[in-house]
């Protein structure tokens, strides 16, 4: 009667019943090991007998096929979904919880795939992906990597379909491709999680996306109804004053000559500079015209290179200080506080990254 122990304390020997009692036989694991060694030896003999010249001729084609095979095996379109759209953020083990929460785990749990379909959350998710691409790409697990690129694929396809915010996606892909080029060069340093062939295929996919966005053509919509140009000047001016991004103002000013005239208003750019930057920053980068007037538009883009601008999002993730839970406000979470709303704090993209730095 063989006995193969599953307990770590058992050596896993085989036992045979005899007239003198149970006797220990040679372990099955050793027999399997000898069989495996024999297979390896025979396999190596077969490999050594092959013509090396033929292998060298086909080496490049084989490497290309292997890279595509690895990419196909790992490039699944299924994402890890969870019923609960929140995650408990803990950085060390406690009596109640063991382990810690990683950035990749949070990325998998918070359902960013559905969030990009919400126009209020779209810019927020894109900015978050951009920050991950710049500094946290090496900290993502294999599953988180798949989810990251699946979400990125959905974002690109969404932009190609509805032409919404292509500039943001171009900036994201540019940062991602630059980071990947640097990391792939350091392949011997174990800086990337996963097969290098998979990352090379991902880089090729990113270059394809960039080319598709570069060739994107905005189709002119034929509509006999009321258009933006039909609005009174004060309403158009009011719309421009609602923008917090200077590039959006420049883009809207290219639509019609009237909008261009309104987009060059000095007061508009002055208010935009005052919203994003402090007066001390103005003094350090003051730009004057020939007549001695402050060039607020030029100052805005100059200051943008040196200082971060304020970020505005329609909806963001929230963090409950009482429960230490990260969640979307619409989805909620099981809060035990007496006044839950007083414990909620909006989480900026950078704050999200900082929560998982150890």
- Domain end among 266, 281, 306: 306
Would you say 316 and 347 are in contact if contact means Cβ atoms under 8 Å apart?
A: yes
If asked whether residues 140 and 183 sit together in one domain, one would say yes
Q: What per-residue confidence (pLDDT) applies to 25?
A: 67
Give me the half-sphere count of Cα atoms (radius 13 Å) on the Cβ side of residue 225.
Answer: 1
Burial 132-153 (b: 16+ CB within 10 A, else e): bbeebbebbbeebbbbbbbbbe
Q: What per-residue confidence (pLDDT) applies to 52?
A: 44
If asked whether residues 322 and 199 sit together in one domain, one would say yes
338 within a domain of the structure (yes/no): yes
Q: CA 195, 196, 198 angle in degrees (round to 5)?
A: 70
202 within a domain of the structure (yes/no): yes
If asked whether residues 132 and 205 sit together in one domain, one would say yes
If asked whether residues 136 and 279 sit together in one domain, one would say no
Q: Please report, for residues 47, 177, 321, the alpha-carbon distance to residue 42 in angstroms, rounded to integers and kept in the order given.
A: 9, 44, 62
User: CB-based contacts of 27: which residues, under 8 Å, 6+ apart?
Assistant: 11, 12, 13, 14
- Is the pTM value of this prediction over 0.75? no
If asked whether residues 188 and 292 sit together in one domain, one would say no
Terminal Cα distance for the chain, rounded: 52
If asked whether residues 196 and 153 sit together in one domain, one would say yes
Would you say 326 and 317 are in contact if contact means Cβ atoms under 8 Å apart?
A: yes
If asked whether residues 208 and 251 sit together in one domain, one would say no
Q: What per-residue confidence (pLDDT) applies to 98?
A: 52
Residue range(s) defining the domain that contains residue 290: 245-306
If asked whether residues 190 and 256 sit together in one domain, one would say no
- Ramachandran quadrant class, 332 (left: phi over 0; alpha: psi -120 to 50; beta: rest): left
The arrangement of strands across the sheet holding 86-88 comes to: 86-88, 325-328, 317-320, 344-347
326 within a domain of the structure (yes/no): yes
- Domain end among 306, 323, 346: 306
If asked whether residues 165 and 278 sit together in one domain, one would say no
> What are residue 25's phi and psi, to 5 degrees?
-105, 180
If asked whether residues 154 and 134 sit together in one domain, one would say yes
Helix, strand, or coil (residue 43): helix
If asked whether residues 109 and 211 sit together in one domain, one would say yes
Task: Please report which residue ranges of the chain form alpha helices under DSSP H.
Answer: 28-49, 52-74, 103-109, 112-115, 119-131, 142-162, 166-185, 196-214, 233-241, 246-253, 257-263, 266-276, 279-284, 296-306, 349-355
If asked whether residues 114 and 174 sit together in one domain, one would say yes
pLDDT by 10-residue block (mean), the chain, 358 residues: 49 68 60 46 40 47 53 47 70 57 78 85 91 86 86 92 87 91 69 79 92 82 73 90 89 89 92 89 81 87 87 87 84 79 86 78
């Amino acid at each position: 009667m063989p006995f193969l122990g599953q307990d770590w304390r058992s050596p896993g020997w085989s036992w045979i019943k005899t007239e003198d009692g149970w006797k220990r036989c040679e372990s099955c694991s050793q027999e399997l090991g000898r069989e495996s060694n024999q297979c390896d030896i025979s396999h190596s003999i077969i490999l050594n007998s092959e013509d090396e010249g033929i292998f060298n001729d086909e080496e490049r084609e084989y490497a290309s096929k292997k890279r595509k095979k690895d990419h196909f095996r790992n490039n699944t379109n299924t994402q890890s979904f969870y019923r609960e759209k929140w995650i408990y953020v803990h950085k060390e083990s406690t009596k109640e919880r063991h382990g810690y929460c990683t950035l990749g785990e949070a990325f998998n749990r918070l359902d960013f795939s559905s969030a990009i379909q919400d126009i209020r959350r779209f810019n927020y998710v894109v900015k978050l992906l951009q920050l991950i691409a710049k500094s946290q790409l090496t900290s993502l697990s294999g599953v988180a990597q798949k989810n990251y690129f699946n979400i990125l694929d959905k974002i690109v396809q969404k932009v190609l379909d509805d032409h919404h915010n292509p500039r943001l996606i171009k900036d994201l892909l540019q940062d991602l491709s630059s980071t990947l080029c640097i990391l792939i060069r350091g392949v011997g340093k174990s800086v990337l999680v996963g097969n290098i062939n998979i990352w090379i295929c991902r880089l090729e996919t990113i270059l394809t996306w960039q080319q598709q966005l570069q060739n994107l053509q905005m189709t002119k919509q034929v509509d006999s109804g009321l258009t933006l140009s039909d609005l009174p000047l004060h309403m158009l001016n009011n719309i421009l004053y609602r923008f917090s991004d200077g590039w959006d103002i420049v883009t809207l000013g290219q639509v019609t000559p009237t909008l261009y005239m309104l987009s060059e208003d000095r007061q508009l750019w002055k208010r935009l500079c005052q919203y994003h930057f402090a007066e001390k920053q103005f003094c350090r980068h003051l730009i004057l015209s020939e007549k001695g007037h402050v060039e607020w538009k030029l100052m805005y883009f100059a200051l943008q290179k040196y200082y971060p601008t304020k970020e505005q999002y329609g909806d963001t993730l929230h963090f409950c200080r009482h429960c230490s839970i990260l969640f979307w406000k619409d989805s909620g979470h099981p809060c035990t506080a007496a006044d839950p709303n007083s414990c909620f704090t909006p989480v900026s993209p950078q704050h999200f990254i900082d929560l998982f730095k150890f």
